[in-house]
Amino acid sequence: MQVDELLKPFPIKEFHPFPRALMGPGAHEMIGPEALKMGFRKTLVMTSGLRGTDIVHKIVESMKYHGLEVVVYDKVESNPKDYNVMDSVKLYQENECDSFVSIGGGSSHDACKGARVSVAHDGRNVNEFEGFNMSENPKNPPHIAVSTTAGTGSETSWAYVITDTTTDPDNPHKYVAFDDASVTSLAIDDPVLYFDCPVDYTAQCGFDVLAHASEPYVSRLNFEPSLGNAIRAIKLTSENLREAVWNGQDLKGREGMMYAQYIAAQAFNSGGLGIIHSISHAVSAFYDTHHGLNNAIALPRVWAFNMPARYKAFAEIAVAMGVDVGGMTTVQAADAALAASIRLLRDVGITERFVDVTKDTYSKNRLGEGPTQFYKDAPVITGDDDDVDRITNHVLGDACTPGNAKECTFETVRPVVDHCLNGDLDDLLQ
């Protein structure tokens, strides 16, 4: 059932499953023993490679030490492409593997989840499974997801995001697949692995967390079991992101963001998302920009757009972000939440509009080879009318849009997209 169908005629809301998880400093050292307990024998490790760190090497060698055979696919790109998934499926089948381990952020986990679904259907193309619970075989290979960023929450959610490169190059398509069968078998979150995450990625991933937390908190689904995790994740992000960004070896900041990203994903897992994510998916479909960066730029604009529908919820968000709302009206407190989000964005040094994103700040495929294979000749973001129109149309077709707090049409969403590309954040504060 599609989200828009669920919203209108039915009062029944679905709570989606979570995996078992190991969380805390040193948790990654349990991968080998846990894999053996789960029956792993020959494992395909999927990763971007994480060049410049020894994370993949240490985990692979530890797995081998425990007697596991390991095959490595280390070409996962940021905003994972369908060919990343299918290349890994081919490698899995050729080597007769029986299990998966993904190491990295959302790109590695999402590509791996897509590969598992494809393997369970005899190697059918991953693009066939776009939508809600489109897989027909609920059993797929076991999967341990090891996170090296505090952002996506893909290790605990039922969603994975893939870029379909078979579509018209002038109208590329990035989609979300929601599938209970894609939920990992075991999530491992170890804040020690975050120490090597660069400053810009740490900041951008942190705004992915804030988007994951705030969107279900104001979602039209208004799913009560998600609200506690959502507001707690907002509080943790507000308290810990600055420290995690500017003092990356600080365990407290990293651990705080670890918990924030995990419970934020559990919030949206059943509580829904909105057009912060829809705009992010659209922009990265055309330009391959980093998902967290996109969320950061979109978030204040979407908060301002949604606020008239959910003033009380945004006032509560202000409190979670540490704002003293004493003496404020509900509307004033909601406005203060918006101001707090812009202050946080500026404090962690994130670009404020899409036209200011340059090739140097584009996400790379982490192979150290510049722009990703599919986007080698990606244009500079122009922000002209055609740019705004095509991004708006992509937003309206995104699976996250129906859950947005405020009804979305081309006429209402286009100005939001235009402001994301071209507008000044100070305009939102007036």
Paired sense of beta strands 99-104 and 143-147, if any: parallel
pLDDT for res 5:
60
Give me the half-sphere count of Cα atoms (radius 13 Å) on the Cβ side of residue 155.
29
Which residue do the tokens 């039915």 mark?
10
CATH number of 3-194: 3.40.50.1970
Residue 332 · residue 415 · CB < 8 Å: no
Residue-wise pLDDT for 238-294, tens only, equals 999 999 999 999 999 999 999 999 999 999 999 999 999 999 999 998 888 899 999
- What mean pLDDT value characterizes the chain? 92
**Average pLDDT of the segment spanning 119-147:** 95
Using DSSP's 3-state secondary structure scheme, residue 103 falls into: strand
Average of pLDDT values for 311-328? 98
Residue spans per domain, the chain: 3-194, 198-429
- Mean per-residue pLDDT for 302-315? 98
The most confident of the ranges 227-236, 280-289, 395-404 is 227-236
Q: How confident is the model at residue 8 (pLDDT cuts 50, 70, 90)?
A: low
CB atoms within 10 A of CB 429: 12
Q: What is the pTM of this model?
A: 0.93
Fold of 198-429: Dehydroquinate synthase-like, alpha domain (1.20.1090)
* Tens digit of each residue's pLDDT (9 = 90 or more) over 322-360: 999 999 999 999 999 999 999 999 999 999 999 998 766
Residue 4: pLDDT band by 50, 70, 90 thresholds? low
Q: Is the pLDDT of residue 371 over 60?
A: no
Residue 55, both tokens: 């994370």
373: pLDDT strictly greater than 90: no
For the beta carbon of residue 294, count every other beta carbon within 10 angstroms.
28
